[in-house]
Chain A
Amino acid sequence: GQSLEQPSEVTAVEGAIVQINCTYQTSGFYGLSWYQQHDGGAPTFLSYNGLDGLEETGRFSSFLSRSDSYGYLLLQELQMKDSASYFCAVRYNAGNMLTFGGGTRLMVKP
């Protein structure tokens, strides 16, 4: 199946900015989404990029470059509550399935 690559862990301090990258296989790419999951909890949808560029939602932004098969999630003004796992997910061939990456565990320190 299609695979997505994202770092397994990232650590940052409160108030800082952190970028979580995601690379994907180009063939059949349709769109990139990001989800947040706190330990033991349900994933929640953060953002979607179908076209190149930056989408901003409050402290979180997501970017896509289709030519580079790459996207990232940018978290600004980090807070302790942002400590969670972040998953990128790709839809291929306009199908009905999402393929999830392995997740990036973000630890925010005081």
Chain B
Amino acid sequence: DGGITQSPKYLFRKEGQNVTLSCEQNLNHDAMYWYRQDPGQGLRLIYYSQIVNDFQKGDIAEGYSVSREKKESFPLTVTSAQKNPTAFYLCASSITPGRDEQFFGPGTRLTVL
């Protein structure tokens, strides 16, 4: 089955530690996105990538970093510079950049203690 996988589902880290969230897709989509969702709120774009080896900052990129070395993979690193990293992180993809239909992974709930 085609889709997007994110691992792990739940992640706990100590304050001051960097952590990398995994996102893999086998849909052969060109574009991939990372969103942050806080309780009771909408999705805010962290980074997006239109093509391999290219990525652009979204609205809240500070304290985060990404890479896109393979079409299928778009990992997100939450660095110690992110002031309030506890949140629900969602990865998405679309067949091409600029398509409004995005396909989402199940999300990773990160808790920083």
Do A33 and B48 contact each other (CB < 8 Å), given the known contacts A96-B56, A103-B42? Answer: no
The smallest beta-carbon distance between A26 and chain B, in angstroms, is 18
Q: How large is the interface on B (under 10, 10 to 19, 20 to 34, 35 or more residues)?
A: 20 to 34
Which of A36-44, A51-59, A71-79 is the contact stretch? A36-44
Most chain-A Cβ atoms within 10 A of its Cβ — which of B41, B48, B56, B98? B98
CA distance A31 to B102 in the complex (A): 14
Q: Mark B44-64, 1 if CB is under 8 A from A, else 0.
A: 110010100000101100000
Chain B residues within 8 Å of A89, by CB:
43, 100
Interface residues of A (CB under 8 A from B): 1, 8, 31, 33, 40-45, 48, 87, 89, 91, 94-103, 105
